[in-house]
Structure 1
Amino acid sequence: MSADAGRVGWREVIRPEWIPSLTVMLGGILLHSMNVMLVATVLPSIVEEVGGAPLMSWAMSAFLASSIVAATCTGAVTARVGARGAFALGAAIFGVATLACALAPSMPAFVAARAVQGLGGGVLAAVSYVLVRQTFPERLWPRVFALLAGVWGISVLVGPLVGGVFASLGDWRGAFYTVAGIGIVLSLVVLRVLPRPRREASEGDRIRLPAGRVALLCAAIAAISLAAVAGGSGAKAGFIVMAIGMFAAMVAVDRRSKQPLLPSDAFSPVTMTGLAIWAALLVSVSFTAMPTYVPLFLQRLHGFDPLSAGYSVASASLSWTLTAIFVSGVSAEGQRRLIVIGPSLMAVGLTGVAVFAPSGPPPGIIASMMVVGCGMGSCWAFLAGRMMSGAREGEADIAAGAIATVQQSGFATGAALAGLAANVAGMAGGDSAEAVAAAALLTPAALACIAALGALAAFRLSLLPDRPATE
């Protein structure tokens, strides 16, 4: 990372020449992130009208799975059409698929539309990081990443609000019509607003999507999705092992390819990009306990209603946002320390959740969740920056696009691991108060151990010398 990043103020980032690009990038991230919370809010209304309650979880899983596939293939897409074209394509796919969600006559049709919507959303999320690298000098990256984190935090509030308004009016389809319109308009203005590529792609740059590696990735995602909904602990563990094996096979094949989907040193324990990927993946896995199970713990064990539980959990995302903004101007040495402090804080916060969630008091749970969010906000921007700045020659855009892949894969894996821990604690046999209390202890405790592993990877990363900054 740039040694002079700490001397960059917000005025240098929010300059007239940057504002159009920032607006488009932040709008794309907001569309993708807000959509997750919006759908969770209106799903009960959708089921009430079109049925299909057994497929409710697939409405979320299909979106996440296709998002991961699309994010992983971002390098191939940008090589074909450039980052501007890829962003416009992603926004168009997202908008049209959201319109299909609004028109869906049944839950299977809605799930299918969500899968296509995820393709567009995954491209939007991944290309945003590519555009950060292509548009801004490296010294500005932490500030821009802080703004991206701010959008994720805002989406936690805006998504349920928009979905709740339309659901209360009895018009869940209206929520999707609104989002579809925004997505389609965004796709039309992108090509005028975003900077032109530094060079046009040559014929040698044009690569085909590798069907074999994409198939392995899809199999891994399917396995992790099945792990999230499988009933027994043995089945969950089996699907998780299968997913890890499929993903490892994909990475192994990808490393031998002349046209990789991931950086050639992805998951290496000795390179900057490899260690940054490990640390980013582990902290993403650890953060998943917040939206996945803590709302259940608050409702079943402490008498929270769904809305108050949801907004209590949102405190973790908001503390992520505020911390990211606060630390975005630290010096290079400060960044080196924060990439270790962040995962360590997450481990401490998750331990606090494990202590307070079973029996309270609720303020202790909320405070612990905020510590987890502060930990994520302390390290995420600098881990993402090191994934990009440590990339090998010719792989900068691939590394930038991999940030979204790592984050979303971590969230999906974390949800499955949290479910496994909850089942081991006793929830496989039902959600009695005793089983939920046991899960409230074991689930965050298990994820605290994963956060500690993230701190170890981050410590190894902090020992590597910084590479010279690029302009």
Structure 2
Amino acid sequence: MTTASGWSALLWGSNGLRSAALAGGVALHAINVYLVTTILPSVVKDIGGLDYYAWNTTLFVVASIIGSVLSAKCLSALGPRLAYSLAGLVFALGCAVCSSAPDMAVLVLGRTIQGLGGGLLFALPYSMIRLVFDEGLWPRAMALISGMWGAATLIGPAVGGVFAQYDAWRAAFWALIPVTLMFMLLAWAMLPGKSVEAPPRLILPWLQLVLLTGVVLAIALGSITPSPLYNALGLMSGLVLLYAVYRVEGSDRHRMLPKHSLTPGSALLPIYLSMSLMVIGMTSEVFVPYFLQVLHLQTPLVAGYIAALMAAGWTLGALYSSGLAPASANRAIRCGPLFVVSGLALAAVCVPLSGSSLLSLTGVCLAMMGVGTGIGLAWPHLLTRVLANVPDSEKDIAGASITTVQLIATAIGAALAGMIANMAGLTTPGGVTGAASAAAWLFGLYAVLSALLFVTVQQVIAHSAKR
């Protein structure tokens, strides 16, 4: 007898169309991430703005955080159909602005709008699952939506690489618009107009969001010039604002994280620090397509796929690690930093090499895979320990904090990567010399920073032993 919780129940008939609408929104957001990473070197070649290179990721992610946080309020106020349509319209507007950008400032504006819409498209489906599917289908629906990121690592670089090969990066953004409209029409036809539940009263941690945005912008503004004074001012301003976030989070009842998460001695603090350090290390991939095209003379398509090896390594590492017995979890957590630090150190040696030798390219590929695999090995067990170290009353905020910490670390990491690269000569002297210097400093400093993981994961394991 066929149960109602199988894949066929999720993927056929009206449920299949609902699944396509929800998974399609996440796929659009994810494909866009890898597509833009692949085409950015071509964009810079056309309209300039190399000193704002990292801003395309930084502001996109900041806007995605805001969109993700707003998604629950948007869903409760508008209902699934209108909320999804609004998300699609904002995303499509961002694509239109990007495709017609005459300079980098307008492109960054478009990326910010894209990020807001993308954050909504990314977060809304997870909230809608319980509204449009029977409870027995929830786990498979979650797996389907999460799997879109794996598909995006294959599709995004391919689409972006093809457009970049023909110097048609604007067409890459235009191509996303009709696809977005198609999913909006599908969602309009298949999703309910209003939630049957009474809208909950949602109070958002606005002060923390404003301060965190300030942290990222301070670091990003400090990275515009290679001047050590401006770099130091930007970094110090960011640290001051980050301390303000710490103070507000500890005293405000509208929190982003579970209670006492940031208190010294808390079991959650080393977990969040480990997650953040891993994600910050991974943000070095923002510059990988540029380095590969300038230093290793690779095509946009090949460069995009090599950069995506980090994400592929994360997926493979997580698939292997998630099947380990609980007794082996500590070993996986310990191995994670070893892979991450070794991968970044190898990248610091191989990426700055110029020329297209097979040996150096093999080293780059191994480095990218190593970083991603290390994160994937530890990540599932870090996430489960977030949930295991909070009372039942805090489970919801703990679950939401996982995405929040990941996105915030991505934004800060991208801004910091931009500062290091610009300070190391990416724009002055620029060219092959500047790119080689920027690559060596970026991956080298991130390897040193990631070495702190050996301390934080040991604290994670020590806290687990006390439970």
Same fold (TM over 0.5): yes
Identity of aligned residues (%): 29
1:252 lines up with 2:247 in the alignment: yes
The one of 274, 281, 292 equivalent to 1:279 is: 274
Question: What pairs with 1:29-428 in structure 2 (closer than 5 Å)?
Answer: 29-40=26-37, 60-71=57-68, 73=69, 78=72, 81=75, 91-104=84-97, 111-126=108-123, 150-163=147-160, 171-172=171-172, 174-185=174-185, 187-188=187-188, 191=191, 206-289=201-284, 291-359=285-353, 361-427=360-426
Q: Distance in 2 between matches of 1:111 and 1:16?
A: 42
Q: Distance in 1 between matches of 2:4 and 2:222?
A: 46
Q: Distance in 1 between matches of 2:444 and 2:43?
A: 35
- Give the SS at the match of 1:263: coil
Name stretches of at least 5 consecutive residues in structure 1 with no aligned partner: 1-10
2:356 aligns with: none
1:272 Cα deviation from its structure 2 partner: 3.8
The answer as to whether partners of 2:57 and 2:411 remain within 8 angstroms in 1 is no
Q: Structure 1: which amino acid aligns with 2:214?
A: A
1:353 Cα deviation from its structure 2 partner: 1.4
Q: Distance in 1 between matches of 2:4 and 2:380?
A: 18
Q: Structure 1: which amino acid aligns with 2:251?
A: R
1:303 Cα deviation from its structure 2 partner: 2.8
TM-score normalised over the length of structure 2: 0.78
Q: Structure 2: which amino acid aligns with 1:310?
A: G
The answer as to whether partners of 2:223 and 2:423 remain within 8 angstroms in 1 is no
- Give the SS at the match of 2:393: coil
Q: Per the alignment, do residues 427 and 345 of structure 1 end up closer, same or farther by CA in structure 2, a change over 3 Å counting?
A: same
The answer as to whether partners of 1:277 and 1:406 remain within 8 angstroms in 2 is yes
1:100 Cα deviation from its structure 2 partner: 1.8
Q: Distance in 2 between matches of 1:155 and 1:436?
A: 27
1:200 Cα deviation from its structure 2 partner: 5.3
- Give the SS at the match of 2:61: helix
1:22 Cα deviation from its structure 2 partner: 7.4
Q: Distance in 2 between matches of 1:59 and 1:148?
A: 25
The answer as to whether partners of 1:220 and 1:243 remain within 8 angstroms in 2 is yes
The answer as to whether partners of 2:55 and 2:415 remain within 8 angstroms in 1 is no
Q: Distance in 1 between matches of 2:459 and 2:267?
A: 9
Between 95-104 and 105-114, report the one with greater CA deviation. 105-114
1:322 Cα deviation from its structure 2 partner: 2.1
Q: Structure 1: which amino acid aligns with 2:268?
A: T
Q: Per the alignment, do residues 122 and 220 of structure 1 end up closer, same or farther by CA in structure 2, a change over 3 Å counting?
A: same
Summarize deviations over 1:30-80 as a string: whole Å, max 9, x none.
22221123345566888999x796887655443222112333x35xx5378
- Give the SS at the match of 2:430: coil
Q: Distance in 1 between matches of 2:207 and 2:37?
A: 33
Q: How many residues align?
A: 444
Structure of greater relative contact order (alpha carbons < 8 Å, 6+ residues apart): 1
1:7 aligns with: none
Between 325-334 and 52-61, report the one with greater CA deviation. 52-61
Summarize deviations over 1:150-174 as a string: whole Å, max 9, x none.
5324313312333455675774454
Q: Per the alignment, do residues 87 and 383 of structure 1 end up closer, same or farther by CA in structure 2, a change over 3 Å counting?
A: farther
- Give the SS at the match of 1:288: helix
1:180 Cα deviation from its structure 2 partner: 1.9
- Give the SS at the match of 1:352: helix
The answer as to whether partners of 2:95 and 2:114 remain within 8 angstroms in 1 is no
The answer as to whether partners of 2:161 and 2:304 remain within 8 angstroms in 1 is no
Summarize deviations over 1:102-153 as a string: whole Å, max 9, x none.
544655776545433322322444566778999999xx99x99987765324
Between 246-255 and 369-378, report the one with greater CA deviation. 246-255
Q: Distance in 1 between matches of 2:67 and 2:337?
A: 27
The answer as to whether partners of 2:59 and 2:411 remain within 8 angstroms in 1 is no
- Give the SS at the match of 1:386: helix
Q: Distance in 1 between matches of 2:37 and 2:66?
A: 21
1:429 Cα deviation from its structure 2 partner: 3.0
1:394 Cα deviation from its structure 2 partner: 3.0
1:313 Cα deviation from its structure 2 partner: 1.9
1:281 Cα deviation from its structure 2 partner: 0.7
